[in-house]
Structure 1
Amino acid sequence: MSPNDKYASLVAAAGYLPLVLRGEDYLELLPVAWRAINDYGIRIAHRTYDAPELGPWRRQHSGHVAKRGLWEVHYDPYDISRVFVRTTGGWITAPWVHLPLVNAPFADFTWDHARRLAAAAGLDDSNEAAVARVLDALLTRAEHGPDIRSARVIGRTRTAAALAAPAAAPEIDNMPDREPDSTAASPSAEVVPFGVFDAHAEAERWL
């Protein structure tokens, strides 16, 4: 039997008990990047992460020979404001060093878009501080939405400026007196009142 067949037979015989994931289980399921812990911290995709707890592990071999001594770093692609480093002493959370410049969590694709905006503006897209400011402006616009009211006011202002000025109204003193209307008012039409509806009499007609 394959492992899946064996597992299916055991579940059919004994059932299973669903368990809620713990915090460490969540970290185990996150994507992994192997990085060195340098004096400045950890670099991932032009971002630097650092924490005081990384002090004893800086410039040290992780013990993973197959990974050339790099350290196992887990990250959440939908919130890359911090990473999680596995050490022999447990997990260490290392925040992004420029996180105070950004007002909200952000994903990896948001970071890539901010780098493209920075490059289009003539900034150095490898400069974390410059990209962080662009990222903060991007998240602020996304949080508050477009300024619809200002756009409408500007549109109305431009439209009003494009219209020609109205002609001056004629002076009242120079206007000739209007002749009275000699047409007599037509008599009003005769009003025919509605009768009172008698439900019983109406029912007798249908019997």
Structure 2
Amino acid sequence: MLDVAVIEEPAAAEASLDPMRARLLAALAEPGSAAMLAARLGLPRQKVNYHLKELERHGLVELAEERRKGNMTERVYRATAASYVISPAALAALTSVSPDPSRSPDQLSARWLLALGARLVQEVGSLLTGAARARQRVASFGIDARVRFASAADRAAFAEELSQAVADLVGRYHDESAPQGREHRLVVGLHQIPTTPPGPPSPAAPDVPDVPDVPDTPDADSPTPQEN
């Protein structure tokens, strides 16, 4: 299981945003079967099994193991990642809107910083997808620091010095004529840390969406013929 996975496909993003499937993804941090999840969440097993198949189709859950219980085969699933990030590229395909920092660059704008972050998720997500296919690692580097300013003037002075330091470093190492050079993007973000962190999602169960009528065929936990 990955620590974090980036969802780039619009259909997978749409599946992950479904309230029922989001609950199943959260529950599958620990492996479980349709029957186990149905009992844990208080939902009909047929609905759970239907949504599990959809999540598996989009690569959000995977088969962990199959267990034989008498004349039954129990399929045990797990989430493919501990957490998911939806790339703006996926949402852009659904909404025709994608954050673009070049529209109104303003270093003092929180919305511009948000657009930079969205672009970061989109580009790093694309790198991770390509690296996974090539079975390679992504070369990356990040800095995470906390700064407590005594005043707004100090914050402004810090931003000015940081801008100058970054400009000096970029000017020193940027080589436009390097024939084998690779372009990298540097983003430095500074924002106030929220005093009240977001609370956990409400435990109240959302409405269960209707499941299309399906013929009476054995599901993942139905009896199967005994092996000789």
Q: TM-score range by the shorter chain?
A: under 0.3
Q: TM-score, normalised by structure 2?
A: 0.20
Larger radius of gyration: 1
Q: TM-score, normalised by structure 1?
A: 0.22
Q: Which has the higher contact order (CA 8 A, sep 6+)?
A: 2
